[in-house]
Structure 1
Amino acid sequence: MKKKIGISYTETNFQNYWNWFTPADLGDNLELIELSFEKNNVKDIELCAGFLLTGGIDVTPSFYGGAPEYPGQPDIFLPERDEFEKLIYDYSQALKLPVLGICRGMQYINILEGGKVLEDIGSANLIHKKGTEDKVHYVNIGHNSMLYAIIGSENGIVNSAHHQGVNGYSLSKNLIANCYADSPDQLIEGLEFKDKTDKSFMLAVQWHPERMKEKEINPLSQKLKDRFLEEVKKMEK
């Protein structure tokens, strides 16, 4: 039986996440399954050996004690999505299954681990918020991090499309920043567990590896994906 990777449904560019995993990546052993808050297919969560939490609309502020109104907030929130993805994350941690978080996915993992997000990153939007295309900037990777072990470099180039973020003041006490934007705002660009004892693989990034230009040769896309797939293949499910 093929091992299933659950991809959380997003109203924004879902197909990019799906297409990131090529037939060559999946081979004969892996397949993708859409986990959708709209379909509420909760039982399908139990079929999965790993999970990708995608980007998209801001997390509902009440989930992290945030301001009810702030610059750049969406016209509506999707608390049903927040609840559904909490089920996914809680299940992954209970069964010690691999998780990869992207953009909103990173922010929400930080929230679910007890942290918060900056409702709007203000002047840093000039560097991070998408215009007609993703912004592009450098990141600095912590030498002692799991991310460094995967990438093998202390810096790299990423794409950026967000108006919320995580910094040292909003970071969960259970997580460490493995990567920062190479810019004055010093926004956190990647997270992993502080104490990895008895934990499964969890890596979360603020950029969008699934839609990077030259994603096949940029290690901050390709090596991330390769490592995530390796971790899924290790699972017994």
Structure 2
Amino acid sequence: MANNAYEAGDFKKAEKLFVDLIKQLLTDGVAQSHNSIIHISAKLANLYAMFNEEVKAREGFHFCIHHLETKIRKGEDDFDTLALYSLILSWFGDYVHGRGDFTQSLALFKQSHEISVKINGKHHPHSLLQLNNMAAAYTLMNRLEDAVDCLNTALVLAQEVQMDDGMKDLPYYFINLANVYLTQVEKSAADAKELLKMAENSCREALKCAKVVDNRDALIQARKCMKQIDSYQIL
């Protein structure tokens, strides 16, 4: 029920149900460090982030990461625990990224990526998502070449195996790559024409992929990207 409320966008109801569920699990004798409680606590931390309850959000993420790291140090490094750790590192990375701490978010995304590659493989959608997240952090740190490298790697890997979730995200990777090229255009007049051409090519690929996977949101974003490129009037 809590997950249903969350998916339906009824976040206050989801918060109450998640809190009640944790209380019930603890009453039933489930340990605080059990993965089920950690996962619910991480979802609550995400909700508190949405509500701008910063202290609760940070405490929630720190609680989850502390317990997972303690378990892993003790040798509890089964797939489920590592997968949950990678997921929560990514969520916490999103949280601090949204608060402007790009250095910490980059470190969290890198750590999440490393674990995901270890347990899922480099082609897994979660591994690819972390490359995309790393690119976002690099872009805002003005490390644009690193951002391009991450996105190009994600694009190559996604197309090598073509997992469903990875292909669904593929248009966004092309759009993000185009946006990095546009950022480079603003900073470098010397090769602006070439960069705009690369941005245009990336946007066209995004449009093509969005149509193939029937991703309406990506299609809208790709069209906006093309309009932005056209506005430069250098091509």
The two structures have a TM-score, normalised by structure 2, of: 0.27
Question: Greater helix percent: which structure?
Answer: 2
